[in-house]
């Protein structure tokens, strides 16, 4: 992805989804990066590569038991066991497994993705619609076909490595914060991104290290307790707050270099 070979990146992403569904947490920020970097045909063909991989991998099952395969392979409604959860363990089990609680977390997840996309990840462009070019097309699609033509076939805009990693890691972290159940093996979903995200914040270094130690401690309490779960949630919320108040990096690589040359 850092090389911005998006068609290959989407194929690898699709392969990862075939192994572990949690990779879907990267899907919203990844889609945003595609919209910011590629033309509309580029976005569509990249998504087609991901879909094609899923079809090829699932072909033996799609040809024999299509309904069973689709209903079980992509089952997003599973309820994990409350006892093994590290996240939200302080809630009673009847609340933890309830649909209203799951729906509330989903709404919060989507809301924070929107807020970060609109005001952090696309801040320099003025919002998601402006960054993706969709607003420009919407405003001119009844007046002239020229704007739509330009949007479809404009030159791709290379993104900076820092912006790509920031958007992907923070988007995945938002999903982690509002995941109803996190079992011990799920720490591997995001532990590698914690140092990067901590150093994106404006927190003093001792406070960053304290958050890191707090997260590590909570994941090493076995079995998890309501107290360790509360501490983990507080660490997550603190880090998320720090990311919200952090500086937004300039997203485009080539334009940034040109500005430096002029200066």
Query: What number is the average pLDDT over the span 139-145?
Result: 50
Q: What pLDDT score does 39 carry? A: 83
pLDDT digits (tens, 9 = 90+) for 213-257: 999 999 999 999 999 999 999 999 999 999 999 998 888 886 545
pLDDT digits (tens, 9 = 90+) for 176-220: 999 988 888 889 989 999 999 999 999 999 999 999 999 999 999
Q: 183 to each of 76, 89, 128, how far by Cα in Å? A: 16, 11, 33
Query: What number is the average pLDDT over the span 20-25?
Result: 89
80-94, 118-132, 138-152: which has the minimum mean pLDDT? 138-152
- How far is the C-alpha of 109 from the C-alpha of 208, rounded, in Å? 24
Q: Model pTM?
A: 0.86
Q: 191 to each of 88, 186, 198, 200, how far by Cα in Å? A: 18, 9, 11, 15
- How far is the C-alpha of 50 from the C-alpha of 27, rounded, in Å? 11
Q: What pLDDT score does 256 carry? A: 47
Does residue 160 contact residue 249 with C-beta atoms inside 8 Å? yes
CA 81 to chain CA centroid, Å, is 25
Q: With 80 as the cut, is the pLDDT of residue 163 above it?
A: yes
């Amino acid at each position: 992805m850092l090389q911005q070979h998006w068609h290959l990146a989407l194929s690898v992403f699709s392969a990862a989804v075939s192994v572990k569904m949690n990779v879907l947490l990267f899907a919203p920020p990844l889609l945003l990066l595609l919209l910011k970097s590629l033309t509309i045909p580029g976005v569509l063909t990249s998504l087609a590569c991901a879909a094609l991989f899923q079809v090829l991998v699932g072909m033996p099952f799609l040809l024999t038991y299509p309904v069973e395969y689709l209903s079980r392979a992509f089952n997003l409604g599973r309820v994990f066991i409350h006892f093994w959860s590290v996240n939200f363990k302080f809630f009673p089990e009847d609340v933890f497994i309830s649909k209203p609680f799951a729906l509330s977390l989903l709404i919060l997840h989507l809301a924070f993705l929107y807020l970060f996309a609109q005001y952090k990840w696309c801040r320099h462009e003025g919002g998601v619609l402006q960054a993706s070019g969709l607003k420009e097309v919407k405003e001119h699609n009844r007046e002239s076909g020229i704007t739509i033509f330009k949007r479809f076939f404009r030159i791709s805009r290379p993104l900076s490595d820092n912006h790509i990693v920031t958007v992907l890691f923070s988007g995945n972290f938002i999903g982690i914060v509002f995941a109803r159940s996190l079992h011990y093996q799920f720490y591997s979903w995001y532990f590698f991104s914690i140092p990067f995200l901590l150093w994106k914040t404006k927190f003093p270094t001792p406070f960053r290290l304290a958050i890191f130690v707090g997260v590590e401690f909570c994941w090493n309490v076995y079995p998890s307790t309501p107290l360790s779960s509360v501490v983990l949630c507080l660490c997550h919320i603190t880090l998320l707050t720090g990311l919200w108040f952090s500086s937004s990096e300039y997203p485009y690589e080539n334009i940034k270099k040109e500005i430096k040359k002029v200066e």
